Structure 1
């Protein structure tokens, strides 16, 4: 399998060849179309855009955790204004190992820490400002939250990522674009140099006024270069070009979620113009349809990350201790994120002690147990056999005898692109095929729930695909009913 980057006349010849034969040529992360291609050729070539190795490994994580912790934890605010005294930051029982172990036991594979939020307070002893832990009473000014969390992640073999807010409401240079960009690059360099391997760098899109009353113009190209130079294996998220925001903070993915999309991160006038011309943004319902691809000049492998908090707020507030999301809500979010070709980034905010609150930890434990119990109990006998599926093709799978199911999983081998546009799943019940569910895109993983059924076989039909679909796995499971679930009649194959 070849992955290439090429341009000009030779690209045109290669594209034309790929459109007219079964090619093993793939286009990693980005493809720019020659103007001469037809609409059908453009759609077909979209099937050959694939993730980078970093993007593929990121997608496999499935469950990642956001940790919002900082000066806001001690002021009760969500967005600080930068005037807060560092003396307020003083966790009484800080325990990064408790964070990591609680999350790991629940199945999470990476932690992303808010090293600096919009208030500008830095959780590491930076040389760029006194607005940091070094000016706090915590550990007599000798503490370093970033280091403590990174070392805990290393001890537990958990991946580590960093959120660094470009918006800084404390920095005097904010609004003086060259001066502040230099400060931000210095902060980014400190974080990516002094703490070992970083797997994800998360840039928020919030951009307001600083102390000067001016809005900053960020040098995204320069920021990207720093990351690529210092942490080449890290993915750049949200305002980065490796991972995109799903478009809401409610834990909701799209029913049709394409990782191949014409959408670009809005980091320059050129990308803003192109996105506007196509009438797309991270919040749009349609990010990858045939119509969009036909009208686009370039397409990208740009997968979705779903961020949502386990509580109403992103930072800890004691009055929300009884408002932790229910298990049923978290399971719904899992199906609507991981189950819709996305990675879930669930926020769990530490409290003023510097610990995850007991209510959050208990809910995480319940969530991890539910997911493990559901998906470790495979009901299909032969769902792991790879399948190259043309449009209209069907394949039957044997269900373990006398098993009840209400959930199916389909996966494409996204290393060969995302291709399936529509599929149905049927069960053989009482000597006839009964439709159980249907869907559009699959991508890395698609999960669908339906009423309890006890079929002897499943049949999957790939109705439409942009080229031969590479089905990696089909699975069937029983997901136990939760309080918020609507009970449905059970179908039995007798």
Structure 2
């Protein structure tokens, strides 16, 4: 009887542990099920031929996209399987594509439709007609108010903050209240303006990207790639920072916040220009990204770039269609499929010996990340042969391997929390397929400079490190302070990042690795000749009696 009691207690513990896993809300689940989303970057920068409006002083009388067709945008999105469009309604330069009265720098004062246009309205109508969800990107800052890139809406002049808060809150209310239901709200680089009440009132059925109300996350790069494994949960206190990334993944985290992998169609460029059009990614590049975003359990956010006519260029239209066709060619029709099995093992039988080289796995992630490790075996010539192994599955995991002929496939879950919930196991054979390139480990460190405790005063020292020549693109960077002698080393007491000489840079953009002199810097804003990144640190020596020195190193994650 005692043994039975112990067994029952252990079983109860497992059940409680599974029940305590972070799980997606109904809104997050609806959003994640889409898999593919199209971004639309279209604004003053399109006419400038650069990445953003640096001054907010462009002559907007030049903006007249006479052929603008939001129905075309929707057709393009659907051609590659996107289920949502996110439109950049306001970027850092502050131009607004809806007829707001919070600024004169808006669609009311351009020749298009004689100043009577409303691009958000047009797109909302087109999306509804096409069966697409709509999301909105509205930059929390505003260059005209001294709240530039990476500011989160914090003005350089504190005396302007209250007035700007009213402006941004009004703008956000307008875009959320007047155009129907939004599925996503994008705050690029976090949002420090208090807007929780507005989101609760007008965007309760939307996921939020960045800011203290965030319910989804940025991976930490704009490569479109998620590094495997992908866990959609993390600690809630980290999510509240507003700038959590994939680095913060925790399969046992207490909140659910899935990852959205954003990437450009034009390599490293978000807006159209004639020269950028020449940087269009190939189908092979896009498929590589697809495998390492959607295929790793995330959501792919692929950009589009209407030109000054308002249309997505013909070459881009063709490329999106080719991309969608290639996805369908590979994964539209499985050779065999097994669905909805709650078990540690699932066997998929084939009618005859069949050649395969791909598996598409799905977990019922509505109950959280229950599957932690798995193996896939193939029955070939009456002998089970291991085909691949993995850890996270989540919404989708694409596994691939050399061609093999099998009569059955077995998915074996080797580590799990609670009963594994296998949603789908599907087998494919893809012709003309080359194995995607192996994921590169983080790049080697580059030495920035030396530090030496002999330069400290009373055991304390300071450094100001210019990272400008090393932080050359948006992404996550790792800065490490190493000691030559660990027992008489140095400790960084404080680290501060300053972007673009802005003393109000959000310090959420720098995170410390617990108990180490290692820092992760997230650069979300675009990089150009006018941007800068300065790291300021305060240090102390662990032992004033001995001198020590070491290096400061950096690498892109």
TM-score if structure 1 supplies the norm length? 0.79
Taking only aligned residues, the RMSD between alpha carbons, in angstroms, comes to: 2.3
Q: 1:19, 1:238 → 2: CA distance?
A: 38
What is residue 282 of structure 1 aligned with on the other side? 245
CA distance in 1 between counterparts of 2:436 and 2:294 reads 19
Matched with 2:52 is: 79
Q: Which residue of 2 aligns with 1:89?
A: 63
Equivalent in 244, 256, 259 of residue 217 of structure 2: 244
Q: Deviations over 1:13-47 (max 9, x none)?
A: xxxx9983565x8xxxxxxxxxxxxxxxxxx3575
1:338 aligns to what?
Answer: 294
Matching of residues 471-482 of structure 1 within 5 Å: 471-481=422-432
The residue number in structure 2 matching 1:420 is 371
Candidates 98, 102, 109, aligned match of 1:128:
102
Determine which structure has greater relative contact order: mean sequence separation of CA pairs < 8 Å that are 6+ residues apart, divided by chain length: 1
> Quick check: 169-178 or 100-109, which moved more?
169-178
Greater strand fraction, Structure 1 or Structure 2: 2
C-alpha separation in 1, matches of 2:351 and 2:258: 34
Instruction: Give, in whole Å, the separation in 2 of the partners of 1:308 and 1:46.
Output: 35
Q: Does 1:404 align with 2:355?
A: yes
Structure 1, 82-91 or 51-60: larger mean CA deviation:
82-91
Change (3 A) 1:468 1:484: closer
User: After superposition, where does 1:54-453 map in structure 2 within 5 Å?
Assistant: 54-81=27-54, 82-171=56-145, 174-175=155-156, 176-205=160-189, 218-219=192-193, 222-239=194-211, 240-262=213-235, 264=237, 271=241, 281-282=244-245, 284=247, 287-288=249-250, 299-312=254-267, 313-381=269-337, 383-384=338-339, 386-389=340-343, 393-453=344-404
> 2: distance between equivalents of 1:480 and 1:184?
52
Judge conservation of contact 1:120–1:171 (CA < 8 Å) in 2: no
Q: How far apart are the structure 2 equivalents of 1:483 and 1:256?
A: 22
Residue number among 408, 413, 416 corresponding to 1:462 in the alignment: 413
Larger Cα-atom Rg: 2
Structure 2: distance between partners of 1:18 and 1:121: 60
CA contact (8 A) 2:14 2:417 kept: no
Please give the secondary structure, in 2, of the residue aligned with 1:399. Answer: strand
Cα distance per residue 1:325-378 (max 9 Å; x no partner): 111111111111111111111111111111111111111111111222322211
In 2, the alpha carbon distance for the partners of 1:18 and 1:249 equals 44
3-state DSSP of counterpart to 1:461: strand
Between the aligned partners of 1:282 and 1:434, the Cα distance in structure 2 is 37
Count, aligned residues: 416
Contact 2:210/2:217 (CA < 8 Å) preserved in 1? yes
Q: Does the 8 Å CA contact 1:324/1:360 hold for their aligned counterparts?
A: yes
Residue 401 of structure 1 and its aligned partner are, at CA, apart by 2.8
Go from structure 1 to structure 2 and tell me whether the alpha carbon gap of 1:367 and 1:90 turns closer, same or farther (over 3 Å shift): same
C-alpha distance in 1 between matches for 2:257 and 2:19: 12
Alpha-carbon contact 2:363-2:396 (below 8 Å) kept = yes
Unaligned runs of 5+ in 1: 1-16, 26-43, 207-216, 276-280, 294-298, 487-494
Cα offset, 1:317, TM superposition: 1.6
CA distance in 2, matches of 1:133, 1:484: 47
Structure-2 change in CA distance of 1:322 and 1:480 (3 Å): farther
Question: Which residue of structure 2 lines up, in the alignment, with residue 8 of structure 1?
Answer: none
Q: How many Å separate the matches in 2 of 1:264 and 1:118?
A: 28
List per-residue Cα deviations over 1:405-434 (Å, max 9, x = no partner). 211111111111211111111111222222
Aligned partners of 1:100, 1:265: CA distance in 2, in Å? 36
